Amino acid sequence: MPLRVYSKTMSSPFKKPHWVPALLAVALLSACDRSDTPSLQAGKPCTIQFRRDALGASASLPISPMTGSINGADTSIAGTLKRSTAEWLVIDKSGDEIWIPKSVILLIQQRSQ
């Protein structure tokens, strides 16, 4: 790769701050307020609805996402959220720690306050 040498007659691309506004715009846009992003709150009660196909209960019939059971089989679990990792949710149910893979979760219900 050839080495560029700038003389006094040539202008360096770093002498004129034409790239500064673009850099500031990127920095400001990446730091936008993310208050609309949903987040789970550890220590609060939650109900986790499982994907029906993960339970072997997928059917051509419409099933409400908030249904607690289908034909007597539970489709959800309720407890207190302990923590969340990239792959798992951990809840406490009656003193038992239950690890739930996120790949089987249909939705999580948790009160905002």
Q: Is residue 101 part of a domain?
A: yes
Question: Which domain range does residue 72 map to?
Answer: 45-109
pTM equals 0.60
Does 1 reside within a domain? no
Provide the domain count of the chain: 1
Residue 17 sits at the vertex; the CA angle it makes with 20 and 23, to the nearest 5 degrees, is: 10
**% of the chain at pLDDT higher than 70:** 60
For 10-41, how does the pLDDT look when each residue is reduced to its tens digit (9 = 90+)? 555 555 566 556 655 565 555 555 556 668 89
Residue 96 located in a structural domain? yes
